[in-house]
């Protein structure tokens, strides 16, 4: 979305067009995807989603867990039983994450 050497007027036109494009994308955003936290593991542990997808983690254990990106991109608060956390992935890439309380619990989201 960056065209630095464009004329100002053209730039504004492009900007407006992009904004319109984003709104359209929002209206038809990909369906939400669920990750369950069960038995001290993320399920599915690896997930492929399109750019713009929202993932919701739900803790189904009797013990609190967290969802923390290894690269500090996202970080949930502590999720007690049945609590949820959602994050929307706006940029393509591979995101590894873990539970900061039980670091043996790891997961991965691949955004394409």
Partner 1 sequence: MSNDEPKERADRAMFNDQHEARAERAMSNDGHDDGVDRRGFLKCMAWAGTGAFFMVEGGILKSYSLSKLPGLPTASAGTLSFVQISDSHMGFNKAANPDVVGTLKTAVDRINALPTAPEFMLHTGDISHLSKPEEFDTLDQILKSARAKDVFFVPGEHDVLEDEGAQYLERYGKGTKGSGWHSFDKKGVHFIGLVNVLNLKAGGLGTLGAEQLAWLKDDIRHLKHSTPVVVFAHIPLWSVYPDWGWGTEDAAQALALLKPFGSVTVLNGHIHQTMQKIEGNVTFHTASSTAFPQPAPGAADSPGPMKVPADRLRSVLGITDVTYLRGKHALGIIDSSLEENS
Minimum CB separation of residue 55 from partner 1 in Å reads 17
Token couple for 108: 């991965």
Least distance to partner 1 from the beta carbon of 91, Å? Answer: 20
Cβ nearer to partner 1, comparing 29 with 75: 75
Task: Of 47, 14, 11, give the one whose Cα is nearest residue 32.
Answer: 47
CA distance 36 to 98: 13
- Give the residue with the Cβ less far from partner 1, 54 or 96: 96
Q: What is the C-alpha separation between 3 and 27, in angstroms, rounded?
A: 26
The answer to whether the CB of 62 falls within 8 A of the CB of 37 is no
Nearer to partner 1, 87 or 98 (CB): 98
Residue 46 C-beta: closest distance to partner 1, Å? 14
Binding site for partner 1 (CB under 8 A): 39-41, 61-64, 70, 77-78, 80-81, 96-98, 100-104, 106
């Amino acid at each position: 979305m960056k065209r630095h050497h464009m004329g100002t007027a053209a730039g504004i036109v492009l900007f407006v067009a992009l904004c319109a494009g984003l709104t359209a994308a929002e209206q038809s955003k990909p369906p939400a995807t669920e990750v369950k936290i069960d038995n001290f593991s993320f399920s599915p542990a690896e997930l492929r989603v399109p750019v713009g997808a929202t993932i919701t983690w739900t803790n189904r254990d009797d013990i609190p867990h967290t969802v923390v990106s290894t690269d500090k991109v996202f970080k949930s608060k502590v999720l007690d039983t049945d609590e949820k956390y959602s994050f929307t992935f706006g940029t393509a890439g591979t995101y590894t994450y873990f539970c900061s309380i039980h670091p043996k619990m790891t997961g991965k989201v691949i955004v394409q």
